[in-house]
Amino acid sequence: MKEQLKAPIMIFSVFLIIAIILSYLTEEIFLLFNFLYIGSFISIGIYLFNTNNKYSRNIVQIAVGSYLLIYVGLILNNNILISGFFYYLLIGVFQAAVIHFLIAKILGPLIFGRGWCGYACWTAMILDILPYKTPKTHIRRKNLGYLRYALFILIVTSVLILLYYLKTPNLDNLMFLLFIVGNIIYYIVGIILAYLFKDNRAFCKYVCPICTFLKPASYLSILRVKVNLEKCNKCNACVEICPMDVDILDSKRNRKNGTECIMCLECVKLCPTNCIKM
């Protein structure tokens, strides 16, 4: 029982510290609730995973993803996509989008890598319930990977044009509209790619612009999935099940696609010799 609670307590403690510090510095009680809510469900999900609950990650994805999309995004009228982050950052407003990106996608990955992608992304929340949890082929379409960087540049350039060149009035309302339209496009493209490539995470691999932030920081992540090669029987089950095509059997930081590990821990759960740990 102690081992099952160790990781959830550690994760909740990190979110508690973040919640207290941010709410104190900004004098926003909402941030205390926000990060305690997210930290609580992620901790619960890790505990359920440790007790072999097969729906543990889906529970966290739905609880956190729907909260961010529906409550923080739609109800509180916040654009927490890349467009909203750069818009609020450029006008000097330290709001939900800026805080969200700093914690989840810029500084946070230095600690938990791309755990955001595995447990809190509202796009992946839907994509992960599609039929292709394990890619039918692990052949990466490298040329398509440049799409995410092109999309990132397009989004940032569009915000700059709207803000400084066109000087668009009522830009707050337009940013909220972009949040709605952007998410609809993400879902449509993500679902089409999943069925086209028979891979739920095809959108994450080739299109998602958030990777521009996540990949560099994830390389330095403290939390990483490692394998004890002395105990490994070379069955390759972990490599075959990985939704992000990460070379799990290589524990080096520069392993193939290492910065794309989403901490889903499917490899940990499947390993017959228990040689894979986070």
pLDDT given for residue 204 in this prediction? 92
Residue extents of the structural domains in the chain:
1-53
pLDDT tens column, 212-260: 888 888 888 888 888 888 888 888 888 888 888 888 888 787 788 888 8
Q: Which residues contact 91 (CB under 8 A, 6 or more apart)?
A: 163
Contact 209/182 with Cβ under 8 angstroms? no
Q: Which of 177, 140, 169 is nearest to 260 (CA)?
A: 140
Torsion angle (degrees, nearest 10) of CA 246, 249, 250, 253: 50
pLDDT of 41 higher than 70: yes
Cα 51 to Cα 256: distance, rounded to the nearest angstrom: 30
**140-177 tens-digit pLDDT:** 777 787 889 999 999 999 999 998 888 878 888 999 99
Q: What is the pLDDT of residue 200?
A: 93
pLDDT at 112 over 60: yes
Q: What is the pLDDT of residues 51-69, one digit of tens each?
A: 878 888 889 999 999 999 9
pLDDT at residue 124 above 60?
Answer: yes
| Residue 2 reports pLDDT greater than 70 | no
Three-state SS across the chain? CHHHHHHHHHHHHHHHHHHHHHHHHHCCHHHHHHHHHHHHHHHHHHHHHHCCCCCHHHHHHHHHHHHHHHHHHHHCCCCCCHHHHHHHHHCCCCCHHHHHHHHHHHCCHHHHCCHHHHHCCHHHHHHCCCCCCCCCCCCCCHHHHHHHHHHHHHHHHHHHHHHHHCCCCCHHHHHHHHHHHHHHHHHHHHHHHHHHHCCCCHHHHHCCCCHHHHHHHHHCCCCCCEECCCCCCCCCHHHHHCCCCCCCCCCCCCCCCHHHCCCCCHHHHHCCCCCEEC
pLDDT at 97 over 80: yes
pLDDT digits (tens, 9 = 90+) for 178-192: 999 999 999 999 999
- The yes-or-no verdict on residue 138 having pLDDT over 70 is no
Checking if the pLDDT of 49 tops 60, the result is yes
Amino acid 186: pLDDT: 96
The predicted-structure confidence for 3-16, as pLDDT tens digits, reads as follows: 667 778 888 888 89
Averaged pLDDT for residues 115-122: 90
